[in-house]
Amino acid sequence: MRLVGKVAIITGAANGIGLAAAEVFAREGAKVAVADFNEELGEVSARELRNKDYEVSFFQVNVADRESVDRMVEQVLRLYGKIDILVNNAGITKDALLSKLAPADFQSVLDVNLTGVFHCTQAVLPALIENGKGRIINTSSVSGVYGNIGQTNYAATKAGVVGMTKTWAKELGRKGITVNAVAPGFIETGMTAQVPEKILEQMKQMVPLARLGKPEDIANAYLFLASDEAGYVNGTVLHVDGGIMM
């Protein structure tokens, strides 16, 4: 098992990619803090993982609220005594064409997807520095690298995540902390479940592998970057997109 003895916080872990990552990390021996805004769903998801004999606990958090983030980190440290890995996976979308994008929707996506990453990383940083090593994994998107129609706010945040990732990799590498990002492509989640079948087929045809990704595809990328095998990987953006952006 690749994460034995490690403690990992995964934000947005009540469902989708985050939940898949929580299960993969726990299966590989980590103690996992399932951190999510949705308390009811988070408790259910954590309980289901514990029923599989994984060491998992739920922590309610609003990543856009620094006090909430600080409280969550303190609770994790109180329970597990340390933090080794942070996966900044939480994110939201409020899509609209630029001409129709409400300023409030622009700001709320920034608050969660960009400022939330800053809050969580800064709050966890003292624990990682105390360890003398650590892993920070941020979730970007192909939209943040190449843009996407109707996603001004989302693309801006995911591009910002790339910039923060590379900056932190330079700042923190000498402290034994690696910082990397994963850029998912089209992934089968609750969001894509709402997309009409005809559009889904068009999306699949854009991908050389001719299929959408699964949450586990992203979770496995997180796992690699969190593992000892990735000890010399720093400041990278790992595209997990089926080759859509070649």
pLDDT recorded at residue 84 = 98
For the cut 90, the answer to whether the pLDDT of residue 17 exceeds it is: yes
Within the chain, where are the H helices? 16-27, 39-50, 66-80, 103-110, 116-131, 142-146, 152-172, 197-205, 215-226
Within 99-211, where are the H helices? 103-110, 116-131, 142-146, 152-172, 197-205
Calculate helix-pair angle for 152-172, 116-131, nearest 10 degrees: 20
Residue 197 pLDDT class (50, 70, 90 cuts): confident
Cα separation, 242 vs 144, whole angstroms: 16
pLDDT recorded at residue 231 = 98
| The token pair that represents 58 in the structure block | 């739920």
Give pLDDT tens digits for 124-140. Answer: 999 999 999 999 999 99
CATH fold group of domain 7-240:
Rossmann fold (3.40.50)
For residue 57, what is the enclosing H or E element? strand 56-60
pLDDT recorded at residue 130 = 97
Catalytic residue among 54, 80, 154, 222: 154
3-state secondary structure of 208: coil
3-state secondary structure of 189: coil
For the cut 90, the answer to whether the pLDDT of residue 90 exceeds it is: yes
Residue 19 pLDDT class (50, 70, 90 cuts): very high
Q: Where are the domains of the chain?
A: 7-240
Q: Which of 58-62, 195-199, 204-208, 210-214 has the highest mean pLDDT?
A: 58-62
Cα separation, 118 vs 123, whole angstroms: 8
Q: Closest Cα partner for 127 from 79, 166, 73, 172?
A: 73
Cα separation, 162 vs 164, whole angstroms: 5
pTM recorded for the entire structure: 0.96
Q: How many CB atoms lie within 10 A of CB 4?
A: 9
By DSSP bridging, strand 85-88 and strand 56-60 are unpaired
| The token pair that represents 10 in the structure block | 């995964």
pLDDT recorded at residue 190 = 77
Residue 201 pLDDT class (50, 70, 90 cuts): confident
Contact (CB, 8 A) for 28 and 51? no
pLDDT recorded at residue 196 = 79
* Average confidence (pLDDT) over 165-193: 93
For the cut 80, the answer to whether the pLDDT of residue 195 exceeds it is: no
User: Is residue 154 annotated as part of the catalytic site, yes or no?
Assistant: yes
Q: 89: burial class by Cβ within 10 Å (0-12, 13-18, 19+)?
A: buried
pLDDT recorded at residue 181 = 98
pLDDT recorded at residue 189 = 86
Residue 185 pLDDT class (50, 70, 90 cuts): very high
pLDDT recorded at residue 200 = 81
Q: Which residues pair with 137 in a beta bridge?
A: 87, 180
